[in-house]
Structure 1
Amino acid sequence: MKTVNLMDPGLLTDPYRGFAQLREEAPVLRASFPGQDTPIWLVTRYDDVKSVLSDHRFVNDPGNVPGAEVTDMREKLTQARGVPPEYARYLTDGILDLDGDDHLRLRRLVSRAFTARRVTELRPRVEEISAELLDALPTDRVVDLVEEYAYPLPITVICELVGIPEADRAQWRVWGARMTTMEPGALAEPLVGVVEYIRDLIPRRRAEPADDLLTGLIRAHDEDGDRFTDTELITMVLTLVLAGHETTAHLIGNGAAALLTHPDQLARLRAEPSLVPRAVHELMRWCGPVHGTRMRYAAEDVEVGGTVVRRGEPVMALIVSANGDPRRFGDPDRLDIAREPDSRREVHVGFGHGLHYCLGAALARQEGEVAFSGLLSRFPRLRLAVAPEKLERQPLPMSWRLASLPVLLDG
């Protein structure tokens, strides 16, 4: 069996075609991950991806694999990226990496902030932020829609929800961008900055409580520190803010580029704005920013797609190939804004599946709906300022991000 190089230029520049080819070769493949010498399994097909993501025999924490010496891919990755050992736990000991009751314990602390009802109550504020950003966009020059709209909208929303002071939000944008780079050693400085910032913010918010999620988390910590530790508090804030704006920003950027390069779909969406919720689902399927899940580890020998994954072996479920699997989606390469059923429960796996289904999915969908609705209604002559083939992407494995999205708004 061949080993897939996830840093292969073909996969970085055209992951949709590249992973589609791999999916048709086999449902499960070996791969090498950047900075790792331990091979991983890639799961490529829709049904198998959903199965892995909902199977309790696959765990996120390698420490939960019984009776086996397991290579901790997270530890190796943080070492390869130059993270000081005392800060590595803030990337590995949070809600994204816990299993079972520990995961549910942390999820319950914040889940009420992301219920459908709470997200619906937030919508007027999200629309207000969107309108303010659109009002500020200049119509007499080329605008980078990623930098001037796609990022500011979700980072403002999540920072208000969590309780990050307005004066500090620009720095979070810088930290988030630096933490996603693959440059050796580049992760350490922003991670240290984020952790120390949160560590300083906690006592300030404890002294001056507010109507925000951070105040609630501090209260939970102070009332039961044995069940919600200092590290978990800091990691929760870090995860919520970074995950709460990075992926949504690139969903908006990728989605806007997709619509601008598919004029038939753009025209239909303008003519039928009621399709916007379904369009957001389709854009998440067709050009979602996350292409692979966090690593899972087999807690016992498990057969997946005809291949036995041995106990302790790491597995990555490929969202990008699952969402393009013709076994589940008819003509999957075609962008169709009316494809997804008009319901809350999506068919695609862009937000994951199972226990670790994205906590903020409802908020991300709403932000996408508001972002596209506002942008398209405000600027009926919106168009790309460069040829589609000139759009630059960030060369990150398992991710699809525009470096910029130059557009003209008027004239």
Structure 2
Amino acid sequence: MTEPLTEPLTEPVTEPVTVDLLDPDLLRDPFAGFSRLRELSPMVQVTYGSAGTPLWLVTRYEDVRKVLGDRRFVNSPANVPGLGLEDVRAEAFRGMGIEDEYAAYLLRTVLDADGDDHLRLRRLVARTFTARRVQELQPRVRNITAGLLDRLPVRDGVVDLVEDFAYPLPITVICELVGIPADDRGRWREWGRALMRQDDPGGIGAAVAGIVHCVEDLIGRRRVEPADDLITALIRVHDEDGSVLSGFELVTLVLAIVLAGHQTTAHLIGNGVLALLDHPDQLALLRSDPSGRMAGAVHELMRWCGPVQATRFRYATEDVEIGGKILRKGSPVMASLVSANFDPRQFEDPHRFDITRQPDGRRESHVGFGHGLHYCLGAALARQEAEVAFTALLARFPEMSLAVPRDRLSRTSVPGTWQLASLPVRLGAQP
């Protein structure tokens, strides 16, 4: 028999009921912290800061997959029938300095849509990210990678791989696909960074407004000068039938694809290089057979140090059983990807980094890219970019090493993410 959530989920544990996602220890080591929470309970109550709205965090692998794959959970609170729920992010965005006019472009993207609306929007861009299309892009990705490595700005023998390689690679690829002109890409990069800074509300608000105005301006230019890119294709869909794609949706699609299309891959590359340097045995194993082991290694990196560690809020449209408890209709819930990816119920010795864990490189048991209807649209492209990046780095710089003490590396303090602020390395002699 299941038990309703009328009591905090702590029985029989005597731990605090509510966990703050901004807790410094949790931000410093989310792998140990969320693993501990997972073993306390399949669901724990969490807040975001002192004034945060309590919500539920799902911690175990099977339950995370259930939340992400069950249609009874929706992304938009407006789709919970009969309750008239407000989106808990709206007030948080105001606190970040984002005006309501522009916050709408973050609250109503393809990532927030449910049901038929989500499928409609996803289908409009899905062909850009098919396995065939991604495979066709590989020569261009390799060329961009080689060019970046040729031009790495070495300063006193040191280069910052996050600043000078991990970021430029994916943002160049996604901007070329979408149709963002080269002259605008630097601004997109700065806007993306601003959105990750929790200590600068003015900068966050200005970044969102800048993105919206930039996309609107580009749409106007593409109407006059069409090109072979995603923006032009979406404009054509909108102009032929506004009921298929509204002007507002066109802007949000471009915004979501460009931001999501470079941030995750950039930090996967940064986290991945550090993980390999931290594990010389695994690095040597990968160097011994990069073509045979790279795909599996990227999967393991997504599991072991993936940049996205929690999903956005979902809302239960009815009472749902999770881990032997009843989650009440309308309750906001997040799925802990990092906790699921380290769940010993699914992964043997999960805190061991092992690039041979998924030897065929095709099977994806981790949930680093999500699961279900909202599975990451650009996952195939992100994997390919990472494979190309790691392959080129290992071949070009076999003596690469960390240029600063390990404890001097810093990360952005944003709950739900795992991102290096920089990664200074010494490249060593080239073969």
TM-score (norm 2): 0.94
Unpaired segments of 5 or more residues in structure 1? none
By how many angstroms is 1:35 displaced? 7.5
- Report the counterpart of residue 141 of structure 2 in structure 1: 126
AA aligned to 1:233 is L
By how many angstroms is 1:133 displaced? 0.4
User: What is the CA–CA distance in structure 2 between the aligned matches of 1:36 and 1:208, rounded to whole Å?
Assistant: 48
AA aligned to 2:157 is R
User: What is the CA–CA distance in structure 2 between the aligned matches of 1:407 and 1:26, rounded to whole Å?
Assistant: 40
Find the partner of 2:124 among 109, 112, 121: 109
**Structure-2 change in CA distance of 1:93 and 1:320 (3 Å):** same
Contact preservation (8 Å) 2:75, 2:313: yes
User: What is the CA–CA distance in structure 2 between the aligned matches of 1:119 and 1:25, rounded to whole Å?
Assistant: 41
TM-score (norm 1): 0.98
1:396 aligns with 2:414: yes
**Structure-2 change in CA distance of 1:375 and 1:343 (3 Å):** closer
1:19 aligns with 2:34: yes
User: What is the CA–CA distance in structure 1 between the aligned matches of 2:153 and 2:52, rounded to whole Å?
Assistant: 49
SS in 2 for 1:187: helix
By how many angstroms is 1:265 displaced? 0.5
Aligned length: 411
User: What is the CA–CA distance in structure 1 between the aligned matches of 2:234 and 2:266, rounded to whole Å?
Assistant: 25
1:204 aligns with 2:221: yes
By how many angstroms is 1:141 displaced? 1.8
**Structure-2 change in CA distance of 1:232 and 1:152 (3 Å):** same
1:321 aligns with 2:336: no
User: What is the CA–CA distance in structure 2 between the aligned matches of 1:275 and 1:36, rounded to whole Å?
Assistant: 46
Contact preservation (8 Å) 1:150, 1:253: yes
Aligned ranges for residues 120-159 of structure 1 at < 5 Å? 120-138=135-153, 141-159=157-175
Find the partner of 1:297 among 315, 318, 336: 315
Contact preservation (8 Å) 1:154, 1:245: yes
By how many angstroms is 1:388 displaced? 1.7
1:284 aligns with 2:282: no
Contact preservation (8 Å) 1:381, 1:410: yes
SS in 1 for 2:19: strand
User: What is the CA–CA distance in structure 1 between the aligned matches of 2:358 and 2:88, rounded to whole Å?
Assistant: 35
1:17-62 deviations in Å (ceiling 9; x for gaps) = 1111001111101000248542100000000000010011100010
By how many angstroms is 1:343 displaced? 4.4
User: What is the CA–CA distance in structure 1 between the aligned matches of 2:208 and 2:425, rounded to whole Å?
Assistant: 32
Aligned ranges for residues 55-74 of structure 1 at < 5 Å? 55-74=70-89
Aligned ranges for residues 76-91 of structure 1 at < 5 Å? 76-91=91-106
User: What is the CA–CA distance in structure 2 between the aligned matches of 1:35 and 1:70, rounded to whole Å?
Assistant: 22
By how many angstroms is 1:138 displaced? 4.5
Which sits farther off after the overlay, 150-159 or 73-82? Answer: 73-82
1:219-239 deviations in Å (ceiling 9; x for gaps) = 111111122111110011011
Aligned ranges for residues 242-391 of structure 1 at < 5 Å? 242-273=259-290, 274-391=292-409
Find the partner of 2:249 among 228, 232, 251: 232
1:7 aligns with 2:25: no
User: What is the CA–CA distance in structure 1 between the aligned matches of 2:182 and 2:203, rounded to whole Å?
Assistant: 26
Identity among equivalent positions (%) equals: 62
Which sits farther off after the overlay, 219-228 or 313-322? Answer: 219-228
Contact preservation (8 Å) 2:153, 2:164: no
SS in 2 for 1:143: strand
What is the Cα-based RMSD across aligned positions, in Å?
Answer: 1.2
